Structure 1
């Protein structure tokens, strides 16, 4: 599985698809995986390791937990090993998946491409962005509105405070649109005091 052959890609999809079809998911679904893969593909940046990292990065999605990326990396990495993937590839895919925690700047260009693709929804068209915002609220519907509002505002503000949201030339064209969307989402959160 060092190369992502057609058979390998189909095996990855078969393994991952049930996770992304879990009923509690509204945004972290197959659509998100496919959009992230396409964002890399149309920019000529999709490598086998990146494809596998995209498939695995949201494998575990429990909105009550704060270690989903770590759990995803462990489970997907174990599965890759069981399929005969080499230790170097497994370590690289796990490393890339952990980069999607978005807590620190990407550590290298490959990680930056994955992070930028994962965040490409910020700079997507208006309908896609606002559908994303609604889906995130749906996934966290168990969180009371005041706490959700506070946490979401802090997260969006954190992205706006970055010098650049997108760190690769391939995704730089999304920067202006992403900032417009994030500011609009913050304004909406600021003015909505109740649901």
Structure 2
């Protein structure tokens, strides 16, 4: 079994080719490094979280459902090949699946990973706008009308939550995230209005 830093370096090395795929405008290595930095800058980054961050968007096909499940399977298979314990593999898998953002995370580590993954929502408006444009680029195969409708549903789903961020470490991003999401939703709705 690889230990500590060697395992983390190996995880980065095996993950980077996935994150370099040309269709990734946002869900790429820059996003992974931003999530790692967001956790590290708050003193929250653990080896288990590091593994989960590298694995969470390993498989990313915007045309398909189940990317997180496939990411967990591919990364889990690689982890087993490194000789890690079944308990650690299960923990990393659960963390990766938490980034589906469909249900509240079951653990504190899961909540931290989800909040870090969503921290872009609470970024400065210019950074958020660049993220929003990159997401549109990843879905360039979708017609403008269909994209606006789908994206509006996604943005509204975050605004409908009582809290976007569930940990105290990320609660300070809540107000800016709501401002960014509201503005982006307004822009989508403006484009839907007849001129």
Q: Would the TM-score normalized by the shorter structure come out above 0.5?
A: yes
Mapped pair 1:165 → 2:168:
no
Hey, what does 1:88 align to over in structure 2?
87
Q: Distance in 2 between matches of 1:38 and 1:2?
A: 23
Verify the 8 A CA contact 2:2 2:82 in the aligned structure 1.
no
Cα distance, 1:2 vs structure 2: 7.9
Hey, what does 1:69 align to over in structure 2?
68
Hey, what does 2:35 align to over in structure 1?
36
Give CA-to-partner distance per residue, 1:8-43, whole Å, 9 cap, x none: 221111100000000010000100000000111111
Hey, what does 1:23 align to over in structure 2?
22
Mapped pair 1:139 → 2:134:
no
Verify the 8 A CA contact 1:159 1:165 in the aligned structure 2.
yes
Verify the 8 A CA contact 1:164 1:175 in the aligned structure 2.
yes
Hey, what does 1:103 align to over in structure 2?
102
Hey, what does 2:177 align to over in structure 1?
178
Cα distance, 1:192 vs structure 2: 1.4
Which stretches of structure 1, 4 residues or more, deviate above 3 A after TM superposition? none
Q: Distance in 2 between matches of 1:39 and 1:71?
A: 25
Q: Distance in 2 between matches of 1:2 and 1:13?
A: 13
Secondary structure at 1:166 match in 2: coil
Verify the 8 A CA contact 1:33 1:54 in the aligned structure 2.
yes
Give CA-to-partner distance per residue, 1:49-82, whole Å, 9 cap, x none: 1111100000000011010000000000000000
Secondary structure at 2:96 match in 1: helix
Structure 1: segments with no counterpart, 5+ residues: none
Mapped pair 1:129 → 2:118:
no
Q: Distance in 1 between matches of 2:86 and 2:164?
A: 32
Verify the 8 A CA contact 1:123 1:175 in the aligned structure 2.
yes
Q: Distance in 2 between matches of 1:175 and 1:167?
A: 10
Structure 2: segments with no counterpart, 5+ residues: none
Verify the 8 A CA contact 1:2 1:86 in the aligned structure 2.
no
Q: Distance in 2 between matches of 1:166 and 1:77?
A: 27
Secondary structure at 1:112 match in 2: helix
Secondary structure at 2:151 match in 1: helix
